[in-house]
Structure 1
Amino acid sequence: MVNLIETFYIAFQKLDAKTMNYCYHNNIVFEDPAFGVLKGNRAKAMWLMLCE
C-alpha cells in the first residue's frame, strides 16, 4: 500500500503536478526561500508551473 507521502514523491519524480496537488489539503501553507509563503491554490499553482 502506497501512503500519501510516497504518492506525492512518486508524482514529483514524474512531474505529475495534478497528483501532487491531490495530495495537498485545500488549506495548505507552503513556504520556501524562493517562493515565500503560498497558501491554498497558489501553492498548488506553483507545482503546476514548476512541472510544466
Structure 2
Amino acid sequence: MAKQNKDWKALNIKLDRTVYEQLEKYCEETGLSKTVAVERILNKAFKEYEEKR
C-alpha cells in the first residue's frame, strides 16, 4: 500500500549557525530528518504555549 502524501507548505528560513549545528547533531543522533525533527520540536513548543495560555 502506498504512503499517503502529507498536505505541506515549504518553509525557507535562516538559522543561527549554533542552532543549525544543534539540529544537525540531534538529527544524526535520532536518525530523524530535519523536516520531521523541526515539525516535532515546533509541535511541542506550540502545545506548551497553548497549555500556558
TM-score after normalising by structure 2: 0.28
More relative contact order, 1 or 2 (CA 8 Å, 6+ apart): 1
The answer to which structure has the higher strand fraction is 1
Q: Which has the higher helix share?
A: 2
- Greater Rg over alpha carbons, structure: 2
